[in-house]
Amino acid sequence: MRATAIDEAYWRGVIRRGEATFFVGAGVSAPPPSSLPLAAGLVASLIAPVLEPLALPAKLARNIGRALVSLRPEVITDVLLEHLGIDAARPLPHVLRGRPNAWHGLLAAALGAGCCVITTNFDTLIEQACDALGMRYRTVVGTAVEDGVAAKSTLLKIHGSIGGGALESVALAVRQVGHGLSITQTRLLQALVENRPLLVLGYSGRDDFDILPALLNLQRTAPGLWVVHERGTAVRPVAGPARRRSDARPAIQCARAWPGSLDLLIGETSDMQDVLRPRRSFGRLRRASPDAASVVEPWLPDREAAAVALLYALVEARAFELATQVFRQATKSRPSSRILIARAVVLEKYGTDLRAAAAVARKARTISKNESADIRALALDQSGVIARRRGLHRLALRFYDQALKTAKPSNSPEWLLMQIRSHRAVALEYLDRRADALREHRRVAKYEQRTGDLRGYAKSLNNIGIVHMNQRQWKPAIAALEQSCALKRDLGDPRGIAQSLHNLGKLHFLREDYPSAESAFMESLRLRLGRGRDDHGAAQSYVALAYVALKAGKFEDAEQYATRALEAHVACGDQRGVTQARGLLRALELRP
């Protein structure tokens, strides 16, 4: 990895001759006149029509918006599509429309010269710039890749495009993010990147689940240049504190993995236009109009559906107090079974009052008796989850079996059947039916991989790791848990990461590797006390650390952790946890 000044003559030459490949992300569509939103703005546009029918107090609506924009676009899209259907994607064609900017003009001219462009963007601004300049190129979208595509004037839209027009294609484009790269996509990526000069601009590289692993496996020999964006600062080599930035991590990983040279720079990405443009007129746009073909009529969900979707979204953001306020606003009249089920989910995930969660689930089961099979199955499934969380595993299994029996004959959606099976597998594991549990978890994981359900797949990997751990199969257990952690990091799920780390700590504890167990538990605790906002999980971390300290003979540390565990469990209202912590303290008092 070199840290030298940019060789402007070299890069201008390879662009002019059509020898380079550009890898670009949302950063190239953010500057005006395009001004397309980055991740947070995209999430905000999806949330806006869901909030409107609820007519929430202004402050509550603002707080909800702040909480939900922390979610990745594919996470919020997945939640909204699941609960509101295809119409939830309607805002996307509006917010992803714009006028091509200078970057799109430069990329279009490069395509016309023979260069290739890979983009993770769904918008069609590069194509519009090509049309405005009269450039000839070939577009490959998503998984519609054929073998043998020439590495010349090719635009690869690796995550899909909104250019299909139909609303279904827009939703598919966003969900495509979760499917990972196909074999043909990987081959094309190799053809476009491996032996060609590479420029990475406006792209964070944070696609840990599909693109980054593929990039790290390349055997690049040609020169490369990767610019990590930093707004309003001069472009300079990545050095010192800049190397510790999270958005610099993918670039540094690739620089270490690739045999060829890769110059790493950081600074204002737009400053690179004059550096790279072979001549002043290259790709200069006079005027290009927004594409009006993708306009979709505005849409608002009905009030009940909006409330349910919002409750589930707030669970993903771990904003439980906000979810409680939404429930109160949405149930000033008689609550429906769907809202009660969502409320039971909130209470169960919050974990502070599982008896209250069970009472809400019981009411939902009663109300749903005259409703569709899907609603009845959902009520039974959530009742099972709450029973399992209360340690009533056989009762939980009965609820799950009832839910499957209810859902199956009605041709229920596959996602519902898989959700029930996933929950059922956890109960089977607690009942020591581990072969059955593993079989169910793998079945669910295959479905999640096939449909691109990253959130579900991360949870299934965690559960598969637990089963292997309890079977003393250490290597597959560690592999599954570490993969789960990596995927949850990419999804921005600190609470989920903490859970998988906690399970890694348990694995090391069972192996009697107490230093590794302590390290994993401490990292899990740090997340739970910080970004994970999980007080109940933190209480469990204190218990785990107390056991590690006890085994290591650090009795003062063990007493401190057990005391904190007791205080935390009392605050959370977890009586089982209180009993466990008190038992630990008594054991420490009675030790010789």
Q: Residues 462-478: pLDDT tens digits?
A: 999 999 999 999 999 99
Contact present, 281 and 315 (Cβ < 8 Å): no
State which of 421, 441, 458 marks the end of a domain. 421
Read off the pLDDT of each residue in 69-96 and give the average, rounded to a whole number.
86
552 by DSSP, 3-state: which? coil
Question: Are residue 395 and residue 436 in the same domain, yes or no?
Answer: no
State which of 230, 252, 276 marks the end of a domain. 276
Minimum mean pLDDT among 88-97, 284-293, 417-426, 561-570: which range? 284-293
Residue type, 197: P
If pLDDT is split at 50, 70 and 90, which confidence band does 574 have? confident
State which of 242, 276, 310 marks the end of a domain. 276
Residue 586 within a domain: yes
Q: Residues 522-559: pLDDT tens digits?
A: 999 999 998 877 888 899 999 999 999 999 999 999 99
The predicted pLDDT at position 1 comes to 35
Minimum mean pLDDT among 42-56, 160-174, 242-256: which range? 160-174
From CA 69, how far away is CA 81, in angstroms rounded?
17
Question: Are residue 259 and residue 114 in the same domain, yes or no?
Answer: yes
The owner of tokens 């792209």 is 203
Q: Residues 133-179: pLDDT tens digits?
A: 999 999 988 767 777 777 899 999 988 888 766 666 666 666 666 66
Closest CA to 88 of 298, 289, 317, 250: 298
If pLDDT is split at 50, 70 and 90, which confidence band does 318 have? confident
Would you say how long the chain is, in residues?
592
Question: Are residue 578 and residue 509 in the same domain, yes or no?
Answer: yes
Question: Are residue 150 and residue 200 in the same domain, yes or no?
Answer: yes
If pLDDT is split at 50, 70 and 90, which confidence band does 58 have? very high
- CA 92 vs CA 96, 161, 222: distances in Å: 6, 11, 37
Residue 228 within a domain: yes
The predicted pLDDT at position 136 comes to 94
Closest CA to 374 of 421, 320, 425, 411: 411
- Average pLDDT of every residue of the chain: 89
Question: b/e map of 271-301 (b: 16 or more CB within 10 Å)?
Answer: ebbeebbbeeebbebeebebbeebebeeeeb
What sign for the dihedral angle of Cα 69, 75, 81, 83?
Answer: negative
pTM of the entire predicted model: 0.78
Burial of 370 (0-12, 13-18, 19+ CB in 10 A): exposed
Residue 283 within a domain: no
Residue 508 has which token pair? 């090391």
Residue 57 within a domain: no
Question: Are residue 189 and residue 223 in the same domain, yes or no?
Answer: yes
Residue 320 within a domain: no
Read off the pLDDT of each residue in 503-526 and give the average, rounded to a whole number.
95
Question: Are residue 357 and residue 471 in the same domain, yes or no?
Answer: no
Read off the pLDDT of each residue in 511-515 and give the average, rounded to a whole number.
95
CATH number of 262's domain: 3.40.50
Say how many domains are in the chain: 4
- CA 372 vs CA 12, 338, 367, 402: distances in Å: 63, 11, 11, 15
Question: Are residue 250 and residue 357 in the same domain, yes or no?
Answer: no
Question: Are residue 507 and residue 471 in the same domain, yes or no?
Answer: no
The predicted pLDDT at position 3 comes to 39
Read off the pLDDT of each residue in 414-442 and give the average, rounded to a whole number.
95
Q: Residues 2-17: pLDDT tens digits?
A: 334 789 999 999 999 9
Q: Residues 185-237: pLDDT tens digits?
A: 888 899 999 999 999 999 988 776 678 888 988 989 899 999 999 888 999 99
From CA 591, how far away is CA 194, in angstroms rounded?
63
Question: Are residue 538 and residue 567 in the same domain, yes or no?
Answer: yes
If pLDDT is split at 50, 70 and 90, which confidence band does 180 have? low
Question: Are residue 15 and residue 157 in the same domain, yes or no?
Answer: yes
22 by DSSP, 3-state: which? strand
- 3-state percent helix, strand, coil for the chain, nearest multiple of 5: 65, 5, 30
Boundaries of domain holding 549: 493-592
Residue 248 within a domain: yes
The predicted pLDDT at position 244 comes to 84
Q: Residues 359-371: pLDDT tens digits?
A: 999 999 999 998 9
Residue 286 within a domain: no
Read off the pLDDT of each residue in 330-357 and give the average, rounded to a whole number.
88
292 by DSSP, 3-state: which? coil
Question: Are residue 360 and residue 260 in the same domain, yes or no?
Answer: no
CATH number of 524's domain: 1.25.40.10
The predicted pLDDT at position 173 comes to 60
If pLDDT is split at 50, 70 and 90, which confidence band does 288 have? low
Question: Are residue 461 and residue 502 in the same domain, yes or no?
Answer: no
Residue 81 within a domain: no
Contact present, 288 and 29 (Cβ < 8 Å): no
